[in-house]
Amino acid sequence: MTRVLDRIRVGSAPDSWGVWFADDPRQVPWERFLDEVAEAGYPWIELGPYGYLPTDPARLRDELDRRALRISAGTVFAAPHRGPAVWDATWEHVARVAALTRATGGGHLVVIPEFWRDPLTGELTDERRLTPSAFADLAAGMERIGRRVREEFGLRVVVHPHADTHLEGEASVTRFLDATDPASVALCLDTGHYAYCGGDSLRLIETYGERIGYLHLKQIDPVILAEVVARGLPFGSAVRRGVMTEPPGGVPALPPVLAAAQNLGVELFAIVEQDMYPCPPDRPLPVARRTRRFLASCGA
């Protein structure tokens, strides 16, 4: 008998419809995304890039209500490793997304460190490795974002390790968790990105479970990843090659990860993110339907 994962709240995101930017002619219109994510059976969604969905809270709430959808989180990229000089610009962007998230009923803000190279062109935009001072600024800056977002908007900040950023695999993630205050910063564990960077999601849940505040569900194709690593390709090129593959065809295996998350004894969002930018407009919905059925078969 399949175990019922009653602490796991499943959703999806614009990313699963090939949406990476607020405005891009290669992306599906936001109305179609909302229609199809509801049709696929996901009650929860993220806001995606700020400006893709309507930014007027009343209008967005109306669009969500008509489709029986709810917001789990907003998402921002931030570069606190660059120190106090970038704080004002960082907070302006964070506050704008946090305000919309709160106004539409979300409870989390997913914060992703900025890329060290352009995900599409591979051009270096930052140092590949952080100095000890810059890493200290990264940790302190994420804590500051977490405290202020909680105090002013009542949201929980979950920091998202991501390929081609300064928080990637096990070494940098555990170092970051050890350096930050659990009261201010939790972790968004993205199973695909963590595997992409050599991490073991199951081990992270088992060793740092108290820091896991949110999940993104995806899998990688290890054969394609080996090519990506060998050629030193940027994340966007890897995605175009299909490195993020439809469950259950890749790694890590999601049933044990979901079971371990259930065993933490807290309610967690598990948001599907099927990276495939750009993609044909008719591709996302069938993938989303199959993935939803797969997760249901796992008990979620």
Asked if 179 and 139 count as a contact pair (C-beta separation under 8 A), the reply is: yes
d(CA 254, CA 294): 10
pLDDT along the chain (300 residues), means of 10: 90 98 96 98 98 98 98 98 97 98 98 95 93 98 98 98 96 98 97 97 98 98 98 96 97 98 97 95 98 97
The pLDDT of residue 1 is: 62
The pLDDT of residue 2 is: 76
CATH class of the 8-297 domain in this structure = alpha beta
Residues 6+ apart with CB under 8 A from 263: none
The pLDDT of residue 3 is: 83
The pLDDT of residue 189 is: 98
**What are the extents of the domains in the chain?**
8-297
The pLDDT of residue 205 is: 98
Q: What pTM did the predictor assign?
A: 0.97
Kindly give the pairing relationship between strand 212-217 and strand 219-220: unpaired
CA nearest to 56, candidates 105, 94, 104: 104
d(CA 126, CA 24): 25
